[in-house]
Amino acid sequence: MSFESSTRLRVRLLSPAARRAARERVLTVLEATGRPSTGRALDDLALAFASFDRAELWLALAVLHGELPAASELRRVRRIAELDGPWAALQRTLTVAATGGVYPSVRVVGSGTTLLDVTGLDSSNTETQGRAIARSLASEWVTAEGVLPVTWTANRKALRALTAEEAAELGYPTPSVSASEILVPHDAAYVLVGTVDKPRSSEGLIALGQSSRNATASIGFGLGRLIGAEAYRRQEGEERFSWHVAAQRSFNTLVVVGDGIMEHYRGWERMLPAVGFEGPKLVDIPVTPAADGVMSLDDWRAISHSVGSAIGIYVGQ
């Protein structure tokens, strides 16, 4: 049986709900990549698969799977397409998409929007100076036009908007986007202001930085958890922080916010050639604690604006 026949058969064997969801996602891919839609969704997608560039393939997998793909899956699908054609790649993609059994709707978030990843900024985590600054920055920015605070789904594979409760806890307005939708940025901006130290999420971000058509930036509050791990108790999982830093490695910009921690990243930058990466552009925004430990509102706003400008949140302002 040809890959085309077996792919069509697999689609026919899907439950009606799964088939509807798959069709919806296929149409989303075609629309987001500007490919023609003739009404024969599967054929249109197969045709599109044959000509997808790297970023379009990333987008297609993100939408069809409803999760940010890892680099290994992107590679696998690209190789299947190259060796056995678009129908084989499509078969692989649809098989993976069907494994979850649930099909939340997927929304492609496009140009003009910044997804602000606030994972880990809630009160369930130990308070640190870096987290306090991150929370303040995020609070400042979510009121800016086009900034959408996001976090990860329970399986750590996809981005979603915050629930009303999560937003309230962080002091943000009630989100306009449903938390039940999967969000896939394309030609948008992704800014990591929180901490993503779960391996699967980090793998998704590594591929997003390497393969998608999004601008990517993050805030660096120091590498103490890596380079001073002996000061942490082992159960705090300091080694997982290396996943957060690995994700930052593939971003465009890393804004270092703090007092005297730029050296952490200069050292890290010196290690990157061994892995074959240039690393992100480093921008230093020193934040020196005021003598009384309290920063004036004006000073704080200025820092927030500097950081926001460096990562593209305040474009043209």
Partner 1 sequence: MATSLTSKKPHELLAAQADRMDVATAYFGLPLAEGADPLDRTIASLDSLVARVYETRDNGELWLLLTTLSGAFPYDRDVETALRFRDEHDPIAFTDWVISASAISPSASGSSTLPMRIVDSVPVIDVSSCAINDRQTGIQRVERETLPLWARDHDLELVAWARRDGSYRSLGEKERRRVVAWGTHKDVPADHVDAPLELLVPFRTAVVLPEVPNHDQSGRLRAMARHSGNAVTAIGYDMIPMMSPELMPREMGADFLEYLGVIKYTSAVAGISQSATNEFRGFFTAVANEHPADTTVVAVELPTAVPEKELAVARDNSGELIVLCVGSHEPRKNHGTVLHAAEKLWREGLDFQLWFFGGGGWGTDFDDLVTKLKRKGRKVELRKAVSDSVLWDAYRRASFTVFPSLHEGFGLPIAEALAFGTPAITTNYGSTREIAERGGCIMVDPRSDDEVHAAMRQLLTEPVIRERLATEARAIPLRSWDEYASELWKVLVDDVV
Tokens standing for 17?
Answer: 């709900």
Return d(Cα 21, Cα 103) in angstroms, integer.
6
Write out the DSSP string of 250-313: TSSEEEEEESS-HHHHHHHHHHGGGGT---PEEEEEE-PPPTTS---HHHHHHHHHHHHHHTTT
Q: Which CB, 12 or 234, lies closer to partner 1?
A: 234
In the complex with partner 1, the residue whose CB is nearer, 40 or 75, is 75
Residue spans of beta strands (DSSP E) within 100-177: 106-109, 114-117, 147-152, 159-161
> What does the binding site for partner 1 look like in residue numbers (CB under 8 A)?
71-72, 75-76, 78-79, 82-83, 199, 202-203, 206, 223-224, 226-230, 234, 238-240, 242-243, 246, 260-261, 263-276
Q: Kindly tell me which of 11 and 219 has the beta carbon lying closer to partner 1.
A: 219
| Minimum gap (Å) between residue 54 Cβ and partner 1 | 11
Give dist(CA 73, CA 78) in Å, integer.
8
Q: How far is the CB of 24 from partner 1 (least distance, A)?
A: 30
Q: With respect to partner 1, which residue has the nearer C-beta, 103 or 268?
A: 268
Instruction: Please give the Cα distance from 181 to 153 (Å, whole number).
Output: 10
Least distance (Å) between residue 146 CB and partner 1 = 31
- CB nearer to partner 1: pick between 151 and 201: 201
In whole angstroms, the minimum distance from the beta carbon of 127 to partner 1 comes to 21
CB of 218 to partner 1, least distance (A): 16
Distance separating alpha carbons of residues 81 and 72, to the nearest angstrom: 14
How far is the C-alpha of 107 from the C-alpha of 167, rounded, in Å? 20
